[in-house]
Chains A and B, each alone.
Chain A
Amino acid sequence: MNAEARVKETQAEASLIEQFSKLAKDQGGLAAETREKAFADFRSAGLPHRRVEEWHYTDLRAKMREAYAPAEGGRTPEVLPAPVDDGPVLRLFIVDGQYRADLGSSAMPEGVTVSSPREVEVKDSLFPSKDAVIDLNTAFCQGGVVVTVAPGTELTEAIEIVHLVTQPETASYSRNRIEIGAQASVLVIERFEGAASDAAYQTNAASEISVGDKARVNIIKLQDEAKAAQHLDSVSIKVGAEADVHHFTLNAGGDLSRTQMFVEFLGEEAKLGCRGISILGSKQHSDVTLFVDHAVPNCESRELYKSVIDEKARCVFQGKIVVRPDAQKTDGQMMVQSLLLSEEAEVNAKPELEIFADDVQCAHGSTTGDIDEDLLFYLRARGIPEADARKMLILAFLAEAVEETENDRVIALLESKVRALLGAEEYAE
């Protein structure tokens, strides 16, 4: 039972080994030795499985039956998706794992520079822990984008990074970096979409985001991959002193998706809000894993994740707040709430606290259940058909997470997205 079975290589692992041996290792601005090192680390651990605590509920070894070969670069999608809202926007496209300067906004405003990742950036990675998926990203990295926002820049445009896949049965590995200078103010919208809606493909993205002191940052991730896609996204955020950072994940697409976030406070008096909504159906498996490291005193973090799970879908939330020995006066509150809409839906939540300082206020909560029958009855008694009443209650349940982002543009954008996903546009105010 407890035997640490070092299982033989899976088909996917064998394919990865073969693909790596054929890989042109000097592309994408990365040194061959960096790739070799990352791949060696990956090989020694293999694909993560349920005995790896961080991957307990998402057994990648079992779920990743095949590993598709890295996509070839240079293809241009037939249609580019329209911007997500009507607001001013700077568009950046990453197609099949590579940054395509030719497709996006041609000129950047003052204070914003865009380039491809360079060796130095991947080498001093901001990711704190060893993780097989991040190792794979480093080993196979095809490119990505580096965005820097100069200190003091107040951007009126949102930076929209759109990840597209044009070829079915391929894998794309992009490595992105966003550096936001002190006192800058930025809205980043990151979108993941597949070209064909029924294509099977794999995305392994990694983003490193550093936020300077007193900067105000809003990051919205819209995960709308094709239904058969596998989506793995690793995000690292370093938060400077007195910064105000909001991150929001909207999970809707993909057969398998995992967003793993590593947030660390570098300076005092910073505020962090991590929120998200997952709307799942069919046999989708969606995982949000969050690691918040209160490394310094006097910081505040709020985590709120809501999920609506229908049919045979499975939702995983793992959240860990760590308060280091000297991080006194930390205020951390985590909440995870799930609505199970069908007999076969499943939710696994693991909200964790790890606390080494005594003068702190930390709490977490978790609720799981179906729509409240009493509320449903109340609405139906007032003549609202059951289906509509259910939609209204689901919207109300999700609204809290959206409203807490405290940014009008973000709220409007997320509200319209959520309504569209639930087929509840008619409730728009």
Chain B
Amino acid sequence: MAAVQETIDQVKAIDVDQYKYGFVTDIESELAPKGLNEDIIRFISEKKGEPEWMFQWRLDAFKRWQTMIEPSWARVSYPKIDFQELHYYAAPKKKEGLKSLDEVDPEILETYKKLGIPLAEQEILAGVAPENRVAVDAVFDSVSVATTFKEELAKAGVIFCPISEAIRDYPDLVKKYLGSVVPISDNYYATLNSAVFSDGSFVYVPEGVRCPMELSTYFRINEQNTGQFERTLIIADKGAYVSYLEGCTAPQRDENQLHAAVVELVALDDAEIKYSTVQNWYPGDSEGKGGIYNFVTKRGDCRGKNSKIAWTQVETGSAITWKYPSCILRGDNSVGEFYSIAISNGHQQIDSGTKMIHLGKNTSSRIISKGISAGVSENTYRGQVSAHRKATNARNFTQCDSLLIGDKCGAHTVPYIESKNATAVFEHEATTSKISDDQMFYCQARGLDEEEAVALIVNGFVRDVIQQLPMEFAVEAQKLIGISLEGSVG
């Protein structure tokens, strides 16, 4: 009940369709010229001080991208993106010889402070018990501006750094794993990302290590007319465990901005990766103007035996979301999980879901997806579950529930179930309904007003997923749900 009350308070505290994180940081930026060509790719590569092989890798991706056409199968509509009108690189101007966090531009620190992201290590230490500490990699436009707790993580053998740094410092690891889950020719946006990605996080957890704290990346788009293309690569070696959180926000701008990220996860024998996202990009205003196009490719590869990858996502932001965090269950006995809450309001369009590809023996997967649509939004769950010939005893359970608030929105479910193995057992169930009059009456008869009643019912509806989130996120997610549905009743 306490959490519900918090949601209500949060809802009341803000005005209608006010996006809390919509401010702009006034900071001098270094921008690549608009447009996309080989020179821009060389520019990015040089900015990052990359070795030649990396440049060639990008170039290869760019050449492939030029032969591809934009996919149109998703249930979203938007004006054509002019890829030559974007800046593919934007970085806050750096002061020379930056050595510690204290030297990070105070404007940026202030930005993250406003967002509630602690970048100063002592600040975290002061308030929270040590086991709840979170190491943060903060990505501002195209560059990573700070990574906390690096030293302490290094003691445990965990590598946590911007990917640009990893390319320089750990080329063997990067060469071995980059593009091994999402190949450069995977899809239109992933290929574009492969050509122009600027930063992102790199995590390597060595054999047998349980990462001593939660890792987190916080993405912030600030600059106008830029595309953010980050790349995340997480490797959990044999028997390792890591929990990784991702958050994102962007300023309120009238024009649409592109975010095309690629996330690759690799879990070797007995390893486990838990990846949680709270996506709160600017969704556009109440007229549907502006907002982020979130075209993201996320895929985890359970490469080793008994490995496990779990995706948890709370999607509340973005004008358009096109995102399918997937698991390739290659190793025998591997487990894939996907928990999702996707909330659309206003003019938002979401086409999101997952893929569970069963390749190994005795693999199992679970999908719990809760979609809530309000306003004039469209919310689509699109998911694929497939068992290949050799996936003996594959097991999947899928549940997708949609809740409609108002009669102008749409909720859609598009599952693809493909089984090539007789021993595979797949179950899929989906329901769509609205908050029933009975439920509302029950709550209101007990003294809750309409908005409180809706918040209570919605929180109950999404509880299965919220429970999967790490503590730090669960509270934030619950608040977000309240905010996203603000004004959708009555």
Contacts and interface: CB of A to CB of B under 8 A. Distances in A.
Nearest to B379: A355
Contacts of A4: 69
Contacts of A362: 431-433
B415 A366 contact: yes
A356 B431 contact: no
A370 interface: yes
A379 to B, nearest CB: 19
Contacts of B426: 366-369
Nearest to A325: B407
Interface stretch (A93-101, A272-280, A335-343): A335-343
B434 A358 contact: yes
Given A352-B412, A353-B430, A3 B67 contact: yes
B71 interface: yes
Interface stretch (B182-190, B362-370, B460-468): B182-190
Contacts of A350: 414-417
Interface in B411-428: 411-428
A84 B419 CA distance: 34
Given A355-B432, A358-B405, A366-B427, A2 B69 contact: yes
A343 B389 contact: yes
A35 to B, nearest CB: 31
Given A325-B408, A355-B404, A368 B69 contact: no
Contacts of A361: 431-433
A355 B405 CA distance: 12
Contacts of A364: 413, 428-430
B402 A368 contact: no
B68 interface: yes
Q: Which range holds the interface residue count of chain A?
A: 35 or more
A347 B408 CA distance: 36
B415 A1 contact: no
Nearest to A371: B422
Given A352-B412, A353-B412, A353-B413, A341 B422 contact: yes
Contacts of B420: 344-346
B78 interface: no
Interface string B291-325: 00000000000000000000000000000000000
Given A53-B73, A363-B430, A347 B407 contact: no
A259 interface: no
Contacts of B410: 354-356
A280 to B, nearest CB: 13
Given A366-B426, A367-B428, A1 B389 contact: no
A270 interface: no
Interface string B34-62: 00000000000000000000000000000
Nearest to B403: A358
Contacts of A325: 407-408
Nearest to B418: A348
B138 interface: no
A303 to B, nearest CB: 13
A39 B163 CA distance: 55
Nearest to A326: B407
B419 A346 contact: yes
A357 B389 contact: no
B421 A340 contact: yes
Nearest to A318: B416
A357 B407 contact: yes
Nearest to A330: B432
B422 A345 contact: yes
Contact of A368 (B188, B419, B432): B419
Given A3-B68, A355-B412, A359-B407, A370 B417 contact: no
A351 interface: yes
Interface in A106-153: none
B419 A360 contact: no
Contacts of B433: 360-362
A366 B434 contact: no
Contact of B187 (A2, A356, A363, A370): A2
A267 to B, nearest CB: 21
Nearest to B411: A355
Contact of A369 (B186, B425, B430, B432): B425
A365 interface: yes
A347 B426 CA distance: 11
A47 interface: no
Contacts of B422: 340-343, 345, 369-370
A328 interface: yes
Contacts of A356: 409-410
Contact of A348 (B412, B417, B427, B428): B417
A350 B415 CA distance: 5
Contacts of B409: 356, 358
B118 interface: no
A353 to B, nearest CB: 4
A165 interface: no
B290 interface: no
A295 interface: no
Which 3 A-B pairs have CB atoms at the shortest separation, nearest pair first?
A: A340-B422, A358-B404, A369-B425
23 contacts: A1-B186, A1-B187, A2-B188, A343-B389, A343-B422, A344-B389, A346-B419, A348-B418, A350-B414, A350-B416, A351-B413, A351-B417, A351-B428, A354-B412, A355-B411, A355-B432, A356-B409, A356-B410, A361-B433, A365-B428, A366-B415, A366-B417, A369-B425
Given A355-B411, A358-B406, 16 more contacts: A2-B187, A2-B188, A343-B422, A350-B417, A352-B412, A353-B402, A354-B412, A356-B409, A358-B407, A360-B404, A360-B432, A362-B433, A363-B429, A363-B432, A365-B429, A368-B417
